[in-house]
Amino acid sequence: MPIDAHTRFVSLLGYPLGHSLSPEIHNTAFQAQNINMVYLCMEVHPDNLKRALDGFKAAKFVGSNVTIPHKQAVYGLVDELSDQAKAVGAVNTVVCRYGKDGEVESLYGDNTDIRGFLDPLAPYAPGLRGEEMVIWGAGGAARAVAYAMLTEYQPVSLTIVARNVEKAGLLAEYLSEYDQQDALKVMPFADATRQVRNSRLLVNATPLGMHSQADATPWQVSEEFSAGQVVYDLIYNPQNTRLLKEAATRGAETLGGLEMLIRQAAASYQQWTNQEMPLDVVREAVKRRLASQ
C-alpha cells in the first residue's frame, strides 16, 4: 500500500528510542491487511510530551504506543483510561477517539501488556488457578504481570523476588486492592528457594538473560525446577534464554517473551483498526528480523 494523502499515522513515543520491533510488527500487519496506515517511531523529550499528544489530535492520528520513560506521564495526560491502565498506573497504548465532526474528541489510554502477558498462558490456565506463583523483578513489567496474575488466577501466594525488597514492597502495596487472598509477599533472592520449588508459574521480569548478558539467569539453581511448572521469561531476545533452557531440561513447560510482545501489539492493533492482527504473518516477519540482527 503506497503512502499517500489518505495514509493515517500510528506512532511509538519514547525517549530515547532504541531498537524496537513494533514498527516491524504493525507495518507488516497493515500491509498484509491492505490498511492505509503507517507506524512511525517518534523520539519525544519528556518536556514535549503534552505537545506531542496535542499534535495527535491536530494531525488526526489513529493512536500511539508508549514506551520508556513516558508510560506513567501519559497516564496523567490522556482524557480517559481503561480499567487495566488505571490498575497499573501506566499507559502503553493511546487510541484517538473521533467525534461526529471528524475531529479527535479525546485520547483514550489503555495498557495492553496485561492481555499480552495472559494470552500466551491461556493453554495452561486451568492448572494455574489458586496455585503458588513467583515473579523475579519489581519494575514496570512486574507491576502489569503481578496485576494480571492476581486478577486472572487468584494465586494462593504470589512472591515478588527482588534485589531491592523495599521497592518490591511498594509494588505489593500498590496492588493490595487486587490482592483479595493476601497472596502478595516480597522476598530477596537468597530466601526464595522454597517458593521457587513450590510454584506452578514462575515469571522472569528482570533483564537477566537478555542478549547483552545471555549467560545470566534470575535463578542459578536449575535443580529447583520440575515438571508441572510453567516458566515464563518476558525476554524475547534471545528467544530461548538460559532460564528457559535450564527449566526445560528439568521438564518444566516454557514460554518466551516474543509471544507476549506480539499479543500486546495485537491488542493495540485491534483498537486502532477494528481488525484482528494476522498473527502468523507477523510472527514470521519478527522472527526473520531477529534472525538477521
Interacting residue ranges for ligand NAP, rule: CB under 6 A: 113, 116, 137-142, 162-164, 167, 205-208, 210, 234-236, 257, 260-261, 264
- Return the closest-CA partner of residue 234 out of 131, 146, 125, 127: 146
Residue 104 or 162: which CB sits closer to ligand NAP? 162
Residue 91 or 208: which CB sits closer to ligand NAP? 208
Residue whose entry in the numeric block shows the C-alpha cell 498462558: 121
For the CB of residue 242, give the shortest distance to ligand NAP in the complex, in Å: 13
Task: Say whether 245 is catalytic.
Answer: no
Q: Which residue number is nearest to ligand NAP in terms of Cβ?
A: 139
For the CB of residue 204, give the shortest distance to ligand NAP in the complex, in Å: 7
For the CB of residue 71, give the shortest distance to ligand NAP in the complex, in Å: 9
Residue 109 or 137: which CB sits closer to ligand NAP? 137
Residue 78 or 135: which CB sits closer to ligand NAP? 135
Cell of 40: 512511525
Q: How many CA atoms lie within 13 A of 38 on its CB side?
A: 10
Q: CA 97 from chain center: how many Å?
A: 23
Burial environment of residue 231 by CB neighbours within 10 A (0 to 12, 13 to 18, 19 or more) = buried
Task: Report phi then psi at 64, rounded to 5.
Answer: -160, 155
Q: Please answer whether residues 241 and 202 qualify as being in contact, where contact means their C-beta atoms are separated by less than 8 angstroms.
A: no
Distance CA 111, CA 116 (A): 9
Identify the active-site residue in 50, 71, 167, 287.
71
Residue whose entry in the numeric block shows the C-alpha cell 514506551: 67
Q: Please answer whether residues 258 and 232 qualify as being in contact, where contact means their C-beta atoms are separated by less than 8 angstroms.
A: no
Give the amino acid at 208.
L
Q: CA 14 from chain center: how many Å?
A: 15
For the CB of residue 100, give the shortest distance to ligand NAP in the complex, in Å: 36
Cβ contacts of 22 within 8 Å, gap of 6 or more: 12, 39, 41, 65, 265
Residue 230 or 260: which CB sits closer to ligand NAP? 260
For the CB of residue 143, give the shortest distance to ligand NAP in the complex, in Å: 8
Q: Which residues are catalytic?
A: 71
